[in-house]
Chains A and B, each alone.
Chain A
Amino acid sequence: MKPVTFLLREQWSGILLAVVLGIVALSIANPTFNTEFNWFVLLRSICVVALAAFSQMIMLGVGQMNLSVGALGGLVAILVGGLMDAWGVPAIPAASIAVLVGGGAGLLNGWLTVRTGINGFVVTLATASAFTGINLGLTRAVPFYHLPADFVAFGNGRIGAFPLLMIVPIIVTALLAIFLNRTVKGRHLLAVGGNSNAAELSGISVSRTIMLAHCLSGLIAAIAGVLAVAQLGSAQPTIGSDWLIISFAAPIIGGASLSGGSVSITGTVVAVVLIGLIQNAMVLLAVDPYWVTFLLGSLILAAVWINRIRTVRMERAQ
């Protein structure tokens, strides 16, 4: 297959084009866009968004939703902050404990969903409220400011325009790509999302797979929470409160099917870059930041609409 036709066949080719055009237009419109520092800011801002999006993408892959992505990320954020500030735990053990707690919270979501047979939507809506409640109850909405210097330095560090923070999402992306494409468990996850009855009949344990997906989603959301703390330099209890829409927007714009079974890591990454670019453009062009919310909504609608047209065409062609 020629590279050009390959690109056109991919669902994310449209958003890639939008990203390229956006970069060209911004470079012309504002000379500060192409400075090294602005690229650093742009790249650093998409690290957390990318992880929040992956956390949701896993759930969309298995055909479920996780409304607690942001609440879980926020809880882990204040946990890692509290461990380092109040308890004096060094950065790496604190981050590891916090991420494990996030995985445990995800497992709790999965266990509740599977054991009760209740729609994951309601379960995670309820646990989201409980997680946010624990967060607010523990912190009384007061952030943790005194974090170890090496931890904050990691959040601010850069090599040229490349933020050190970005190492983490790159590793997660690679592991996720291997997991979903090359491992039996990963294929099982997508099989359950595609058709859970068929998966069950071919000997896959649907409930275990759903629990695995919830656990992974929790782990990734927890990593996002830790990164958000490093990026801000303080553990704010409000971390995660605005992840809900973005976590759905990126995978959906990137071509994930809501009925499950089909996700695109590349598409999600390109969509995250597009969202980051929009946010960056609003700042550079001094546009009302509320436009970001508005544009995000329009993008999701446009993406699902285009996907719909594509499916109808493919059905007709067959």
Chain B
Amino acid sequence: MTTQVQSSSGASISITGLLTRGSTQFGLLIILSVLWTVFASLSPGFLSTFNLNSLGRSVAVDVVVGFAQMVVLATGGMNLSVGAIGVCSVMLAGYFLQVLGLPIPLAIAGTLAFGGVLGWLNGIAITKTGVNSFVVTLATASLFSGGMLILSHGVPLNGLPSEIGAFGKATVGPVPALAVVALAIGGLLYILFAHSVLGRQILSVGANSRAAEMSGIPVSRVIVFVHVLSGVLAAAAALMLTARLGAAMPAVAGDDWLLPSFLAPVIGGTSLAGGAASVIGTILGALLVSTIRSGLLILQFASFWLQFFLGVFLLAAILLQRYRSVLSAREQTRQA
């Protein structure tokens, strides 16, 4: 689902034609299937149940991290504190479960609410000061992770209830339970953006906030809302990560989430300028990143080069997208 108008003319069936003219999501699907074929033929281990399972569990977390950034990108802002909210939530969930011994549903609800509160602080700081979301969230990222480290002393919590780790390993049929959670969250976000007034308001604030303001949309409230949503999603990703690892560790997110949080939505066709959000694209974007990571690991590429490839792929993806939009603009002028 992309709200930008895509040029559907030029019924070329060649692969390059599809890559440059079809929707971003379709292009991503083609790249993904090519990569899967290559990796599977080079190494049979790629399609093993074990590898697919671990791939599915790591994609699930990346998808939700990407969603946490996507909802803010839709308004034309950004949230650099996704990782910081993530680590704070990881440690709080650990504290709730291990130190306070709260029942699991209560701990989950409390952690999600806490993520929402941190996001709300971001939103309030941005709308009240009128300062660009980049600086505010850069500062709050530092505040949140600093505060968390001061309180937790950076000590991991390993004595979580066994159900948490068990859920992280569980599968529903062949699909990891964590992936089902990510898909469910994706479904809810799809409904929000495609079928709700609030979703349309978020996109119109992103497309042109002055015009949105003049047509009676409460711009400040919408911005605060997306930051709360982003905080809740970051907390959800944190909980999923805690389940995957079976422990609450302070060093798991933070800076490490910065790149993935932008990679998935930007590769998936969400523009930094705002006004567009693609739930399916973000899922495919995260899947692409995890496929590359998993494929390179299974081909026993030195993991040190991984970061280099991720950077190059992000560049290639944005260049391709840029090329496509130039092409479609040219085609539109030709038709006009």
Binding site for B on A (CB under 8 A): 65, 112, 116-119, 121-123, 125-134, 136-137, 139-141, 241, 244-245, 248-249, 252, 258-259, 288, 290-298, 300-301, 304-305, 308
Count CB-based A-B contacts (< 8 Å): 134
Q: Please tell me if the beta carbons of A128 and B138 are within 8 angstroms of each other in the complex.
A: no
Among B140, B258, B304, B318, contact of A301 (Cβ-Cβ < 8 Å): B140
CB-CB contacts of B249-260 with A at 8 A, as 1s and 0s? Answer: 000000100110
Complex Cα spacing A249 to B262, Å: 22
**Chain A residue contacts of B309, Cβ below 8 A:** 133
Q: Please tell me if the beta carbons of B129 and A304 are within 8 angstroms of each other in the complex.
A: yes
Nearest residue in A to B139 (C-beta to C-beta)?
A300
Which 6 pairs show the lowest CB-CB distances between chains A and B? Answer: A133-B308, A294-B146, A129-B311, A297-B142, A130-B311, A293-B146
Q: Please tell me if the beta carbons of A136 and B315 are within 8 angstroms of each other in the complex.
A: no
**Chain A residue contacts of B315, Cβ below 8 A:** 112, 123, 126-127, 130
- Which B287-326 residues have a C-beta within 8 angstroms of A? 302, 304-312, 314-315, 318-319, 322
Complex Cα spacing A127 to B149, Å: 29
Q: Please tell me if the beta carbons of A126 and B314 are within 8 angstroms of each other in the complex.
A: yes
Complex Cα spacing A140 to B306, Å: 12
Q: Which of B139, B308, B314 has the most CB of A within 10 A?
A: B139
**Chain A residue contacts of B307, Cβ below 8 A:** 129-130, 132-133, 136
Q: Please tell me if the beta carbons of A294 and B140 are within 8 angstroms of each other in the complex.
A: no
Q: A118-B319, A297-B146 are in contact. List 7 more A-B contacts (CB 8 A).
A: A119-B272, A121-B272, A127-B315, A128-B311, A129-B314, A132-B308, A293-B145
**Chain A residue contacts of B153, Cβ below 8 A:** 288
- Which B124-145 residues have a C-beta within 8 angstroms of A? 125, 129-132, 134-136, 138-145
Nearest residue in B to A137 (C-beta to C-beta)?
B305
**Chain B residue contacts of A252, Cβ below 8 A:** 135
**Chain A residue contacts of B125, Cβ below 8 A:** 301
Q: Please tell me if the beta carbons of A305 and B129 are within 8 angstroms of each other in the complex.
A: yes
Complex Cα spacing A168 to B322, Å: 40
Q: Please tell me if the beta carbons of A298 and B135 are within 8 angstroms of each other in the complex.
A: no
**Chain B residue contacts of A249, Cβ below 8 A:** 139
12 A–B contact pairs at CB < 8 A?
Answer: A127-B315, A129-B310, A129-B311, A130-B311, A132-B311, A133-B304, A134-B308, A245-B142, A258-B131, A294-B143, A300-B139, A301-B125
